[in-house]
Structure 1
Amino acid sequence: MKKIISLLAIISLFISCKEEVVKQPNPLIEKEVMVGIMYDLSVLEAIRLENPASLDTFKINPKKYIYKKYKIDSLQFIKNNAYYASDYEAYASIIDQVNSKLITNKASVTALIKAEAKKKKKKKKTVVKPVSPPTKLIDSLEINQRKRL
């Protein structure tokens, strides 16, 4: 009898732990879209930390930009973020995807920066030095100046 009661207690414990802590919001933002939102937020936050004046110069409000781009509002984002955060494995998966996307794009940006630096070096090497004027021209100018004196 004790075994049956302890077994029922364990089963009820597992069933009660399986309940969703946060209910699924309506409408639910798809996981892939949430990855895009989190990626864009990460990039905009990095821009804000690296060069705060750049966002002000172009009058970009990161949150408004995200809401407009993904056609969501702040409440919808907050509810969906809380929903995904309540499921540790799903949220960790989203964060891992954002991280891998950031690493991939960092590599491509680094490659572009190196290519641009090579172009600038090449351009500096191929700069044509100004050619000195022909000596006859200088001589004729000097002669004209001497005549004036």
Structure 2
Amino acid sequence: MKKTITFLVVLILLVSCKEEVIQKPERLVEKDVMVNVMVDLSILEAIKYQNPASLDTFKINPRDFIYKKYKIDSLQFAKSNVYYASDYEDYKLMFEQIVQRLDAKKKSADSVVNLEKNKKNAILSKKQKPALRAKDTTKVN
């Protein structure tokens, strides 16, 4: 009987300790939307550091732009981010989704850049071929 009571007390203590570390915010950004926001923020921040003039020319603040696009504010984003970060495993899955999307966008951008390079090379080679033919005909005559 003593062992049973001890077991129940330990079980109750373990179950009662299973409460959320951080309370769910009132205006929680949905997980899918949060992933979209983080992907877009990553892209705009990369543009900001790779080519700052592009955003400065149009006076775009990447964070403000994203907040307007998704109709959220900075406090709502921050609270939602802290809430999702409190569950490490779930947050890790979110970041894996973000990395996958960024990789897919990078591959897409790389293919567009390669396509443009191929077009330029094709145009340059077409311009150079007639010049080579003219040189060849002068040598034969």
TM-score (norm 2): 0.82
- Give, in angstroms, the shift of residue 27 of structure 1: 1.8
Task: For 2:100 and 2:8, locate their aligned partners in 1 and report how far apart those are by CA, in whole Å.
Answer: 43
Alignment match, 2:137: none
The residue type equivalent to 2:13 in the other structure is: S
Identity %: 50
Task: For 1:99 and 1:15, locate their aligned partners in 2 and report how far apart those are by CA, in whole Å.
Answer: 36
Task: For 2:100 and 2:25, locate their aligned partners in 1 and report how far apart those are by CA, in whole Å.
Answer: 27
The residue type equivalent to 1:43 in the other structure is: I
Alignment match, 1:55: 55
- Give, in angstroms, the shift of residue 8 of structure 1: 2.5
Task: For 1:50 and 1:14, locate their aligned partners in 2 and report how far apart those are by CA, in whole Å.
Answer: 50
Residues 1-45 of structure 1, C-alpha deviation per residue, up to 9 Å, x if partnerless? Answer: 2464255324422431x2111111122211110000010111111
Residues 113-147 of structure 1, C-alpha deviation per residue, up to 9 Å, x if partnerless? Answer: 11110000001111265xx9xxxxxxxxxxxxxxx
Unmatched segments (≥5 aa) in structure 1? 133-149
Alignment match, 1:29: 29
CA RMSD between the two structures: 1.8
The residue type equivalent to 1:89 in the other structure is: E
Task: For 1:37 and 1:70, locate their aligned partners in 2 and report how far apart those are by CA, in whole Å.
Answer: 7
Task: For 1:123 and 1:48, locate their aligned partners in 2 and report how far apart those are by CA, in whole Å.
Answer: 32
The residue type equivalent to 1:54 in the other structure is: S
Q: In terms of mean alpha carbon deviation, does 83-92 or 95-104 score higher?
A: 83-92
Task: For 2:22 and 2:85, locate their aligned partners in 1 and report how far apart those are by CA, in whole Å.
Answer: 9
Unmatched segments (≥5 aa) in structure 2? 135-141
Is 1:122 the counterpart of 2:130 in the alignment?
no
Task: For 1:13 and 1:51, locate their aligned partners in 2 and report how far apart those are by CA, in whole Å.
Answer: 53
Is 1:8 the counterpart of 2:2 in the alignment?
no
The residue type equivalent to 1:12 in the other structure is: L
SS at match of 1:24: coil
TM-score (norm 1): 0.78
Alignment match, 2:86: 86
Would you identify which runs of 4 or more consecutive aligned residues in structure 1 move more than 3 Å?
Answer: none
Q: In terms of mean alpha carbon deviation, does 107-116 or 49-58 score higher?
A: 49-58
Alignment match, 1:44: 44
Task: For 1:100 and 1:87, locate their aligned partners in 2 and report how far apart those are by CA, in whole Å.
Answer: 20
Alignment match, 2:65: 65
Q: Which has the larger radius of gyration?
A: 1
Alignment match, 2:139: none
